[in-house]
Amino acid sequence: MEKYEEVLRKIKEVILSTAKKHGIEIDKIILFSSRARGDYKEDLTGIFW
C-alpha cells in the first residue's frame, strides 16, 4: 500500500504544481478508476486495459 500512497502523492504534486504555474486554483482532486479506488488487479496476461 505504501507504493500506492506514493503514486497518489506524486499525482497530486504534479497537478497542483502545474495548476499553480498556470494561475489555476484547485479546490479538490478526484480520481476515477480502479487504481484510484485501490481495487486494481493486473490482467493475468500482463495486458492493461
Residues 6+ apart with CB under 8 A from 34: 40, 41
**What is the structure's pLDDT at 44?**
57
> Domain residues of the chain, as ranges?
2-36
Q: How confident is the model at residue 27 (pLDDT cuts 50, 70, 90)?
A: very high
Taking residues 1-27, report their average pLDDT: 90
Q: Cα(23)–Cα(45) distance, rounded to whole angstroms?
A: 43
Taking 90 as the threshold, does the pLDDT of residue 48 lie above it? no
C-beta of residue 7 within 8 angstroms of C-beta of residue 13:
no
